Amino acid sequence: MSKVQTEAKSDPTNEILVLDGISKTFGELVAIENASLSIRKGEIHALVGENGAGKSTLMNVLYGIHARDSGEMRLRGQNVRFSGPSEAIRAGIGMVHQHFKLSPSFTVAENIILGSEPMKGAGRVDFAKAEAETRELSRRFDLELDPKAVVAKLPVGLRQRVEILKALYRSAEILILDEPTAVLTPNETRELFNTMRSLAASGCTIIFISHKLREVLAVSDRISVMRRGRIMRTFDNENVTAQDIANEMVGRSVLLRVDKSAAREIGQPVLEVNNLVAFGDRGEKAVDDLSLAVRAGEIVGIAGVQGNGQDELVECIAGIRTPGAGSIEINGVAASADPRSAREAGLAYIPVDRGGLGLSLQSPLWENLSVGHLSEVSKGPFLSARRAQERASKLIQAYDVRGGGMFAEAGSLSGGNQQKIQIARELSREATLIVAEQPSQGVDIGAIESIHKVLVTMRNAGKAVLVVSADLDEIMALSDRIVVMYRGRVVGDLASGDTSYEEIGRYMGGLHEDAYRDPATPISRPGLQPPHAIDG
Partner 1 sequence: MENLRVLIKSLALPLIAPVVAIAIAAVVGAILIVLLGRSPLEVYQTLLEGGLSGWPNLSVTLQMTTPLLFTGLSVAIAFRAGLWNIGAEGQMLIGALFAGVAGYALAGLPTIVHLPLCIALGFLGGLLWASIPALLRVYLGVNELVVCLMLNPIALLLTGYISTKALKAPGPTNKLPDVAQTAYLPSFSIYSQLNAGIILGIAICIFFLAFNATTVRGFIWKLIGLNPRFAHYGGIDVKTNALWIMLVSGGVAGLAGVEQVLGQYHAFYDNFSPGFGFDGIAVAMLANSNPLGVIAASFLFGTLNGGSAVLQMTTGLSKYFVQVLQFIVVLVLAARFVWHRKPGAIKRKAPATAQPQPVSQEV
Which residues are near partner 1 by CB under 8 A?
A: 26-27, 29, 31, 51-52, 54-57, 60, 98-99, 179, 182, 318, 320, 338-340, 343-344, 349, 351-363, 367, 370-372, 374, 378, 381-383, 405, 407, 411, 415, 418, 438, 441-443, 535-536
Neighbours of 144 (CB within 10 A): 9
Which is closer to partner 1, CB of 236 or CB of 376? 376
Nearer to partner 1, 42 or 415 (CB): 415
Beta bridge partners of 343: none
Structural contact between residues 22 and 73, judged by C-beta atoms closer than 8 angstroms? yes
Query: Of how many residues is the chain composed?
Result: 536
* Amino acid sitting at position 70: S
Smallest gap from Cβ 63 to partner 1, in A, equals 13
| DSSP run (H or E) holding 157 | helix 156-169
Is 32 or 458 the residue whose CB approaches partner 1 more closely? 32
CA 344, 348, 353, 354 torsion: positive or negative?
Answer: positive
CB of 3 to partner 1, least distance (A): 39
Least Å from the CB of residue 422 to partner 1: 10
User: Which residue, 378, 272, 373, is CA-closest to 332?
Assistant: 272
Give 56 or 111: the residue with its C-beta nearer to partner 1. Answer: 56
Q: Smallest distance, Å, CB 363 to partner 1?
A: 6
Contact status, residue 354 vs residue 422, Cβ threshold 8 Å: yes
**Rounded least distance, CB 399 to partner 1, Å:** 18
Distance, in Å, from the CA atom of 261 to the CA atom of 264, rounded to the nearest integer, reads 8
CB 451 within 8 A of CB 286: no
- Where residue 478 falls (left for φ over 0; alpha for ψ -120 to 50; beta otherwise) is alpha
Residue 368: C-alpha distances to residues 360, 397, 420, 458 (Å): 6, 15, 12, 22
Q: How far is the CB of 320 from partner 1 (least distance, A)?
A: 7
Nearer to partner 1, 201 or 371 (CB): 371
Comparing CB distances to partner 1, the nearer of 98 and 274 is 98
CB-nearer residue toward partner 1: 115 or 411:
411
Query: Shortest gap between Cβ of 224 and partner 1 (angstroms)?
Result: 16
CA–CA dist 142, 162 (Å, integer): 13
